Amino acid sequence: MRWVLRSKIHDATVTEANVEYEGSITIDSALMKKAGFLSGEKALVVSKSSGVRLETYIMPGNEGSGIVCINGAAAHLIKAGERVIIMGFELSSKPVKAKKILVNENNKFVKFL
């Protein structure tokens, strides 16, 4: 069994960073569906701006809102305006066809990668 990439949102822009919120990342539910993420799923978030990497869990945001909000203590590490890659992994003994999407600066779907 190996951990393999299953879901990826590439080049998202963090729209908000809220230290006072219970820890997680809030993602537009339309983007979650496109990339195959589930509510409560563990995710790896990597800042293209600073190189920071962190793990958290996903909470769905309003569909079509473009929200990508870093919540809780993680908001000290990744700030609003930073570009991020959000990845989900699956433990599998077989190859997995990952759903990878590219979004624009407004976190709107551009294409599958």
Kindly report, residue by residue over 37-84, the tens digit of the pLDDT: 999 999 999 999 999 999 999 999 999 999 999 999 999 999 999 999
pTM: 0.96
What is the pLDDT, as a whole number, of residue 66? Answer: 98
- Identified catalytic residue from 21, 49, 57, 65: 57
- Identified catalytic residue from 24, 39, 65, 92: 24
For 2-112, CATH number out of 2.40.40.20, 3.30.70.330, 3.40.50.2300, 1.10.390.10 equals 2.40.40.20
What is the pLDDT, as a whole number, of residue 52? Answer: 97
Computed over every residue of the chain, the mean pLDDT equals 97
Question: C-alpha distances in angstroms, 107 versus 3, 64, 111, 113?
Answer: 27, 9, 12, 15
Q: How far apart are CA 67 and CA 53, in angstroms?
A: 19
Residue 50 catalytic?
A: no
Residue 21 catalytic?
A: no
